[in-house]
Structure 1
Amino acid sequence: MSNIDLEKFSKYSKPGPRYTSYPTALEFSDNFRYEDYLKYLEEGKEALSLYVHLPFCRSACYFCGCNVVFTSKEEKLSTYIEYLKKEIDILAQHLDTSREIIQFHFGGGTPTFYKAFELDEIISYIKGKFPNWSKDAEISVEIDPRFFNEEQMKVFQKHGFNRISFGVQDFNPKVQQEIHRIQPYELTKAAVDLARKYGINSINVDLIYGLPYQTFESFRATLQQAFSLEPDRLAVFNYAHVPWMKKTMRKFDETTLPAPDVKLQIFQYTIDFFESNGYKMVGMDHFAKPEDELFGAIAKGELHRNFQGYTTKGGANLIGIGLTSIGEGTRYYAQNTKDMKLYEAAIDAGRLPFERGVELSGDDYLRKAVIMELMANFSIDIRRVEKEHNIVFKEYFADALDALEEFVKADLVTLTDEKISVSPTGTLLIRNIAMPFDAYMHQYGGNKKSFSKTV
């Protein structure tokens, strides 16, 4: 990638969505009712992707934006398992459990905060209710290397897990101390080695740039150490500093966060580093080896983006199970409550713990297709969109195309009658480039506390 004018690029640092969904979660509301959600579940015929949220952590990582519950009490964890089972029973009353499972994911929290026999109990129960698993199903779990042992790995092997994602964030001791997550390189390597020993052939490592006390030099060292683990994929996320939403982030001295131009320098180097070491960039923040199935999906235009990041498993209904989980269908998003007492009360009353969501209008559906294609493939096939959605692209998106002109003039975007293409340098600003297609962005123009910064 050619050297960029970091100072000039810094002007693009403004609040913007990450587009794990469209419309974004800010548009979720109780206008989408429980009855609407049940109707979609009951009428669905597509394959299923199951996401199970295990929200517990022993202590806070101060950078974390996830919905977690901090506890050291075993009974809280075991009580939650019983409620998960009840939630699964209620789900089974409202959807066809013979639908094929093509994806399963444990997220958190720290899923491996649970003991091996508890993980086995949860997975076995789900398999008992949903018996039709594809032989090619992607079965994955997020793991904190600080809480991971061989007994748990045996359970994952027993149930056919084939992807593991390890949270690392940064290997620098000063950064680790500041973010309240002490995790030496040796501990992480031992966790990766354990997964390899049990035949896991797809290992992902998560890193974050933009954390307190990170410098270009310190993150370069972290990249070297991450590379030495030989992961099959890496996700390198831009730290989302949202202290108005997450109290733990208020512990950071904001003067210690790297400036936008430093973050850009870090990410530009990250792209160059991995691409010169045999990886390729996938979408906004992922890297993978060329033999990875993500590349076949890109070639066929079948790469998808959802709340778990980038995946080849498109066309499925994502069913969110557990506290705060989000489900996604072709025309809706549905989110469970974030409040444990409300979660338990709903299930005790024989209801799913649904709280809010959004039903996609025709315009939402079209814009979602365009934005997700841009986020996944850094391009839009104009003719295909016109054919599939029966529109004249230049008329429908006249405002968006006008807004893209500044990126065209800066050689970050190429625009023809057939295609919108983002240049390699433009990929650093893909969120900015997607925003003109977002019909809701005007609502947040003056509100800096809606989204994290794009740069």
Structure 2
Amino acid sequence: MISQSLLSKYNVPVPRYTSYPTVPFWKEEIDVQQWERTIAKKLQEANAGDGSSLYIHLPFCESLCTYCGCNKKITTQHSVEHEYIEALKKEWKMYLRLLNGEPLLLRELHLGGGTPTFFSPENLNAFLSELLSDCTIHEDREFSFEGHPNNTTIEHLQTLYNLGFRRVSYGVQDHDATVQTIINRIQPYENVVAAVENARKIGYESVNFDLIYGLPMQNLESMKKTIEQSLVLKPDRVAFYSYAHVPWTSKAQRLFDESHLPDASLKIGLYQLGKELFQKAGYEDIGMDHFALPHDQLQIARKEGRLHRNFMGYTTQQTSTLIGLGVSSISDSGNAYAQNHKTLHDYYESIENGEWAVTKGYFLTEEDVAFKKYILDISCKGTTKFNLNDLELIRVYSINELEKLKNDGMINYDINGVQVTTLGSSFIRNICKCFDLHLSRKGSEKFSRAV
């Protein structure tokens, strides 16, 4: 059991490190021609190597979940599906042209949102079948999607399974009726049971749950019940996320009274309770709020040193190139990031004009590439080795924080590198922060707290 005082000490605003540098330090405008040259080169290299990842953002939801910080568009009009899919197809063709007629070597595909299962099975099948016909599928591929238990039908599951999807992540969040009401996500437990059973009957190899601690009206008793109900269904992995209260960027979070949020002490208690229950049930701590059963590919990749982290979170695929399609999607060439317009209007306008929809981004320096590796190593392997050329920067920006973490039993380190301890595995974000030179130099409070 981690002490309350230690959790309180490190419960500070800190990034989730799905990128480095993190988004607040990107440029508000990007050199589009430079981006095109960069991503073209990297896609061609990936085609000759381990392949690329593809993320498709499907932003529509039928109702507003007030806790949600994702880019979404609320509508009950399913006629929007066609226009959006047509824009995705045009954007996809723009990336394909960079390969001079060659198919893309696709290793990883993920559908996120919004609510991907807002789209009908028929529309998903038509769009994805066409997209996949432009690809060579890597033998070690992983296709996954995010599903809402209320509207992920057997038809959705079977259609996506037939296309090669083998993992589904259900946004469960919380089973408690009071919590569901205040966050406007009414989701009967029976619907979750049906969604899980249907996926397993069809043959999905990994059924995952997203749960959130720190939501309004949560308490230890309700959290315990939510986790116990979830464990009955034995999800293969669980993302046990800390609720990020950022009303300055997610206006919907202003719709509930902040007095209903658990205070810092209770939120820490919720995390402790969840970690204890998951580990008692046989789940192993991956780090950064993720738990997985020993047979799950995420846990196997971690043990074999193959774990990777990108904008889709933890993944078993170590691709260095990620294409993001759709509104607000982020692409990653390994040495540059580019984010699409965040509004449908701007996204549609760019695509209709035959222009790249990217607007915000960042080109990494040699220093960024070096420290990105340290952060990825810590978050995925729990250890990293220093390059002698970086020791002066580490001495100036990292040593003081590393010394504090060492004194608190979270790491061991010397001139060669860092090793995370068992205790430190619960503080991965804090350890990564030691190597965030942008944050050290400029500072920022634009992040959620660690717990």
Query: Does TM, normalized by the shorter one, top 0.5?
Result: yes
AA aligned opposite 1:294: L
- The within-5 A match list for 1:321-332 is 321-332=325-336
Q: Sequence identity, in percent?
A: 38
Aligned partner of residue 327 in structure 1, secondary structure: strand
Give the gaps of 5 or more residues in structure 2.
none
- Mapped partners of 1:404, 1:296: distance in 2: 29
- For 2:304, the equivalent position in structure 1 comes to 300
Q: What's the CA shift string for 1:165-207, capped at 9, x where partnerless?
A: 0000011111111111011111101011111111001111100
Q: 2:90 is matched with which residue: 75, 86, 91? A: 86
Match in the other structure for 1:436: 434
Contact (CA 8 Å) 1:41, 1:95: kept in 2 or not? no
Instruction: Using the TM superposition, name which of 31-40 and 329-338 deviates more.
Output: 31-40
Question: 1:6 corresponds to which residue?
Answer: 4
Indicate the residue corresponding to 1:333 in structure 2. Answer: 337
Q: Within the alignment, does 1:178 sit opposite 2:172 as a pair?
A: no
For residues 206-285 of structure 1, what are the structure 2 equivalents within 5 Å? 206-285=210-289
Give the 3-state SS of the residue equivalent to 1:13 in structure 2.
coil
Partner of 1:100, secondary structure, is strand
TM-score (norm 1): 0.93
**What is the rounded CA distance, in whole Å, between the counterparts of 2:442 and 2:61 in structure 1?**
33
Pairwise CA distance, 1:443: 5.3
The answer to whether the 8 A contact 1:7-1:261 is kept is no
SS at match of 2:141: strand
Q: Against the structure 1 CA distance between its residues 18 and 140, is the aligned structure 2 distance closer, same or farther, given a 3 Å change threshold?
A: same
**Structure 2 counterpart of 1:426:** 424
Contact 2:121 2:155 in 1 (8 A): yes
Question: Which residue number corresponds to residue 120 of structure 1?
Answer: 125
**CA–CA distance in structure 1, aligned partners of residues 320 and 103 of structure 2:** 14
How many Å apart are 1:140 and its aligned residue? 0.6
Contact preservation (8 Å) 1:53, 1:109: yes
Distance 1:85 1:253 in 2: 42
* Aligned counterpart in structure 2 of residue 396 of structure 1, from 393, 409, 412: 393
User: Mapping of 1:133-148 within 5 angstroms?
Assistant: 133-148=137-152
Residue 105 of structure 2 corresponds to: 100
Normalised TM-score (structure 2): 0.94
- In the other structure, the counterpart of 1:311 is 315
**Which of 186, 193, 199 matches 2:197?**
193
| The 10-residue stretch of structure 1 (295-304 or 324-333) with the greater mean CA deviation from structure 2 | 295-304
Task: State the SS of the aligned residue for 2:434.
Answer: helix
Structure 1 residues 95 and 352: alpha-carbon distance in aligned structure 2, compared to 1, 3 A threshold: farther
The 1:199–1:265 alpha-carbon spacing in structure 2 relative to 1, beyond 3 Å, is same
Mind listing any 5+ residue stretches in structure 1 that lack a counterpart? Answer: none
Give the secondary structure class of the aligned counterpart of 1:223: helix
Q: Considering only aligned residues, what root-mean-square deviation do their CA atoms show, in Å?
A: 1.7
2-structure distance, mates of 1:392, 1:293: 35
How many matched pairs?
A: 443
CA offset at residue 301 of structure 1?
2.5
For the residue of structure 2 that corresponds to 1:324, the secondary structure is coil
Deviates more, 1:219-228 or 1:420-429: 420-429
Separation of aligned partners in 1, 2:250 and 2:64: 11
> For residues 206 and 145 of structure 2, what CA distance do their matches in structure 1 show?
11
Are the counterparts in 2 of residues 302 and 314 from structure 1 also a CA contact under 8 Å?
yes
